[in-house]
Amino acid sequence: MKVKQLLCEITFTMLLIFGFDSCNTDCYMLVKDNVDTSKITQAEAFSQFSLILSRAVSENQELRTFIKTEAMKMFDNDYDVFYPFVKNRIVKDGLTFRELLLSYCDNENQLNCIESAIPKLTILVPDWGWLKASSIATWDPSDREILVGFAQNGCCHTLYANGDLLTLGEGEFPETPTLIVKSNERMVAIPSTRSEEKQFTFRYPEYDASLNIRTKGRAWYEEDINLGADTVDNFVPESDIDPIVIRAYEEFKDYRPINACQRDYIYYGLCKSNPDSGILNTGIRERIYRFRLEPSAYSDISDDSKDDKLHDPITIKGRKNKLSIEKIRELIWSGGIFDFQFDVYKVHPGDDKATQTGPSYPFHCKGSDLFDLSKVHIDYKKQTAFAKGVYVYNFKPENLVSKWVYPTGIQTLPIWDISLESNSLAIYISEVDDSTEIETTEEWVYKYSKNFKWNLNVSGEGSIRNKVAIKIGFGTGGDKGLEETDKTKIVIKKKLDSDFICKAFPEFQSKIIEKPLSKTVSGILLNGYDVRPISAGDISITLLPMDIR
C-alpha cells in the first residue's frame, strides 16, 4: 500500500467523515469465524461489510469495474454506488452483486443483518485528486490493489486490504485506490405498499442527477461563474509595521554582517555601529498579526455540526436570469462558525517540560473570513414563455482560495528572552470542537544560545534581581556565538474531537521583512513591505514584533 505524508498531518479518518451520516459511536470489530450476526450494531455492520467487500473487490476485476462504472454515473451527483439500487444487477458469470458478496460471507444471515443495520448502504469512490491523492478518474480497475474503509466518528484509522486489517499512522494518507462504505445522506426511505423492499428517494431535488442531463424537454446548460477571488500575497502596509522593524530591515538589508538578523536589532539593539553587545529591550513583544489556511485544511475543520460549511447545492426556480455575483456570495456558506485556538510554548534550557506562555489565543471566524470561492458551477434551464427558469448553484471545495485572517485587537505573546529561553517558540494550532478534554505529550528538539554574559552591577549591589543579560555579537552561532541543541516535552491539553491543524516553530533568527513593496488596495496605492510568514503544513502565520511601551 502506498501512503503519502501530508505536511499538516491531515488524518485519513477526518476525510472519511466529511459529508457522511453519523454512525454508531462504537468503534469497529473484526469479523470472526462463526460470529453471531443475529444482532449487530451499525458500527459492526460497517466493519463487517468493509471486510467482505475488500475480499470481493481484491479477487474480482469484474466487480471493481462494476463499481467504478456505477460510481461514474453519479446518480446523486457524487461518486456513490447505492447498494439497494444495484445489489441485484449482474456482475460476473450470471451472479448479481449481492450473490457475489454472499460467497465471501459466513452465511446469508450475516448479509441480511448488515442490510438491516444499514438500510442506505453506499460505496463511495472518493475523488481526492485535488489533494494529490487517489482519484476515481485515475483508478485502473485492472489493478487488484485496492483498500476499503468505512465512515465512522473519528475513533479509528483503519482500512482493509483483501480482508487484512491495516492501520494508518498519524498523518498518513492513502495513495492506493480506496472505497468508502457509508450510509447515503442524500437518500431517504419512503413507505412502500407493493413489497417489503424499502423504497428510496432523494432528500432534495438537487441531488437527483437526472435533473442535470438533457432530456426531451428543455435543455439543461452548465457553466462556471468566476467570482473574482483575490490572490493572496505577503504584502503588509507600512502603517501596520512598528518603525523598529523597518529600521532593522534598513540596517541589514544588504545582508551584512553575515551573522546578523533583524531581531538582533529589534530585541538587543545590535547594529553595524554596535556589533559587540546589547541589552534586551523588555518592551518588545511578538504580535500575531494574521494567519491563513490552505484550502486542503477545509475538509478537516468542517466536520462538526457548528462549523461553517460550503452550502449544499441550491436550486432557485422562477428566475429569468442568473443571480448577481453579490447574491451568489451570500449563498456560499451555511452560517456556522470556526473556533481556532493557538497555544504557545517556550522552554528554559535543561527543563524536562516546556511552559505554555499563557492562556490559549482564541480566534473565531466564518468560512468567508478564511476562504474565497474562485468560481461557482451552475446547471440551469432557460426561462421560456411557457416555463420558468431553473438554476442549480454548486459550491465545491476544490475552488476554495485562501485568505488572510486578521484577529480582532492586538494579540501579543509574552516576552521572549533567548538569554534564558529557547531560540524558537512552539505554536500549536487547532480548530476546537466541544468534547472531553485530554492530554497528549510530544517531544520537542530545540536550540538555545550561549553567547551571553551577565552584568550583576546594574542599578544595585549585584542583586540577582538586577542581573542583566548582555548578548555578545550577532547571531546564535559562528565566531561570536554558540548554539546548542536539547530536547524537552510539551504537554498539550486539547478537546478530544478538536481538529489539529499543525504546529509551527518560529525562530529568533527568521527574517521578518523581505523587501519594500507597493500595492493598490480599493483604488489607493499603498506603500509597504513583503513580510515573510512562518509556514507549516496548511497554515501560515505573520508575526510582527512591536514595542508595546
Under the banding of pLDDT at 50, 70 and 90, the label for residue 9 is very low
Please report whether residue 17 resides in a domain: yes
Mean pLDDT of 445-452: 90
Same domain, 116 and 173: yes
Residue-level pLDDT at 491: 87
Please report whether residue 422 resides in a domain: yes
Same domain, 399 and 253: yes
Distance of CA 359 to the CA centre of its chain: 24
Say whether pLDDT at 481 is over 90. no
162, 181, 213 — which closes off a domain? 213
Please report whether residue 218 resides in a domain: no
Same domain, 448 and 363: yes
Distance of CA 263 to the CA centre of its chain: 32
For 248-299, the DSSP string reads HHHHHTT--STT--HHHHHHH--BTTB-SEEE--TTEEEEEEEEEE-GGGHH
213, 244, 277 — which closes off a domain? 213
- Out of 48-52, 171-175, 383-387, 512-516, pick the least confident: 171-175
Same domain, 107 and 162: yes
Same domain, 191 and 242: no
Please report whether residue 448 resides in a domain: yes
Please report whether residue 393 resides in a domain: yes
Take residue 506 and report the three cell numbers written for it.
518560529
Which residues pair with residue 179 across a beta bridge? 148
Interatomic CA distance for residues 545 and 284, integer angstroms = 6
Among 3-7, 53-57, 455-459, 482-486, the range of highest mean pLDDT: 53-57
Domain count for the chain, please give it: 2
- Check: CB of residue 63 under 8 Å from CB of residue 125: no
- Check: CB of residue 347 under 8 Å from CB of residue 372: no
183, 213, 243 — which closes off a domain? 213
Entry pTM? 0.61
Angle at 306 (CA atoms; ends 190, 117), nearest 5 degrees: 35
Interatomic CA distance for residues 77 and 466, integer angstroms = 70
Tens of pLDDT, residues 315-365: 888 777 889 999 999 999 989 999 888 999 999 999 999 988 878 888 999
Residue-level pLDDT at 480: 56
Same domain, 431 and 503: yes
First to last CA, the chain: 57
Between residues 531 and 39, the one the model is more confident about: 531
Tens of pLDDT, residues 227-246: 988 889 999 999 999 999 99
Same domain, 314 and 419: yes
Mean pLDDT of 488-511: 79
Under the banding of pLDDT at 50, 70 and 90, the label for residue 435 is low
Same domain, 484 and 352: yes
Which residues pair with residue 287 across a beta bridge? 412, 544
Please report whether residue 88 resides in a domain: yes
Under the banding of pLDDT at 50, 70 and 90, the label for residue 33 is very low
Residue-level pLDDT at 170: 53
Structural domain boundaries, residue 31: 3-213
Residues in Cβ contact with 154 at an 8 Å cutoff, skipping those fewer than 6 apart: 11, 13, 14, 17, 303, 497
Please report whether residue 325 resides in a domain: yes
Say whether pLDDT at 388 is over 90. no
Residue-level pLDDT at 346: 92
Same domain, 415 and 291: yes
For 129-160, the DSSP string reads GGGTS--GGG--TT----EEEE--SSS--EEE
Same domain, 201 and 246: no
Q: Is residue 148 packed enough to be buried (19+ CB in 10 Å), middle (13-18) or exposed (0-12)?
A: buried
Same domain, 352 and 424: yes
State percent of the chain over pLDDT 70. 81
Say whether pLDDT at 103 is over 90. yes
As a whole number of Å, the CA-based R_g of the chain is 29
Residue-level pLDDT at 477: 59
Between residues 210 and 442, the one the model is more confident about: 442
Tens of pLDDT, residues 233-283: 999 999 999 999 999 999 999 888 888 899 999 999 999 999 989 999 999
Please report whether residue 220 resides in a domain: no
DSSP 206: G
Residue 351's alpha-carbon distances to 344, 354, 492, 503, in angstroms, are 16, 7, 16, 21
Tens of pLDDT, residues 151-170: 665 444 578 999 888 876 55
Same domain, 271 and 125: no
Interatomic CA distance for residues 234 and 415, integer angstroms = 25
Residues in Cβ contact with 349 at an 8 Å cutoff, skipping those fewer than 6 apart: 421, 422, 448, 484, 486
Residue-level pLDDT at 31: 36
Residue-level pLDDT at 482: 78
Interatomic CA distance for residues 537 and 297, integer angstroms = 9
